[in-house]
Structure 1
């Protein structure tokens, strides 16, 4: 007799779902790292106060990027990346396409989060940095960013939860993540309630600690 779990799913099927959860974590990490690498320059460009045609062009360019990405659903971005690259004659694995799409999407939102945190630094701090005769780069690096980072930690950790949950959209391009693995097991067992309950519990186990951590950081910031 095949050994089953409490919800009527075999241990092999449960391990299959857990493997999908592992790839969900990999995709989440790719999305966050890529989003950080692109989102930070976007935030700096959007928050820059330096005058001049070059600075205005950077601000407007970053603004167009944020508006464009935030106006397109994530599944559509994944479709465009996955099938758009193949039109050019290149075959890309689903992980690569999903990683690029998650990077573009998370960068737009992280850029906006961090822009708001940079602009939340009191104006007096900006003026004090100018009085010290620091270059714009030195003002950001030594005065503005250290203060903005403290403000940015809670919403950034909170957004990590959104990244993890939105990796589920990668199922539209056939990426093997938690949602895809649950779908496969459901098609094999015809037990949607049990299978997707297990998937929901795994998502909860991944996301809940980050939600708690975000609230703790926010409470610590209020006390500070």
Structure 2
């Protein structure tokens, strides 16, 4: 039975924002750890590590995030390992984020002037110390703007978790729309909430990029 859209429905949608933020935070933090490992492997001296990291990136950048969610959620269930939708979404998004952040940070590491590494080597610093004290601090400054930009995409990507039954912002909108049949009102509200979440981060990323370009031209 179709009913009217009420303030309780609005609060249900708004309350689902916390699950979008929780899922985004888990995926971003996990992706940051995985991405750092991927970036270091991609820039390592060992050929095997570089090839494994490159293969990982090709798989997760070359397949749709939706398929990755399906494989984690339904694939594990097929082999007798049923998984909670939140955990499945977190695992799939973490792997997805690891691939993209790894490539972003690999580019930032390679953008550090070679003279910095050469000077550190001349000072007899080990590979670990060179990366920790010389290369990574500079690379992270270069990577800040694109990393924030990717976080915006990750927040929007959490909407796909609704497909496997996880009740985040988009899924909450679907539930309310099925009960009220007010798609313009319901999904307009959902879109507005995504905008509130993502626009400040997009603005921050643009400002960081502008500052970086200004610093380079000086």
TM over 0.5: yes
Q: C-alpha distance in 1, partners of 2:56/2:125?
A: 30
Q: Which residue does the alignment assign to 2:23?
A: 27
- TM-score for both structures, normalised by structure 1: 0.92
Gaps of 5+ in 2: none
Any idea what the Cα deviations from partners look like across 1:101-143, whole Å, max 9, x if unmatched? 0001010000000000000001111211111111111110111
The SS at the match of 1:91 is coil
Q: Which residue does the alignment assign to 2:152?
A: 161
Within 5 Å, give how 1:1-224 maps onto structure 2.
Answer: 9-48=5-44, 50=45, 55-224=46-215
- TM-score for both structures, normalised by structure 2: 0.94
Aligned-CA RMSD value = 1.0
Q: C-alpha distance in 1, partners of 2:93/2:142?
A: 24
Q: How many residues align?
A: 212
Cα displacement (A) at 1:88: 2.6
Q: C-alpha distance in 2, partners of 1:45/1:113?
A: 13
Any idea what the Cα deviations from partners look like across 1:120-174, whole Å, max 9, x if unmatched? 0011112111111111111101110111011011110111000000001111111
Runs of 4 or more consecutive aligned structure 1 residues displaced over 6 Å after TM superposition: none
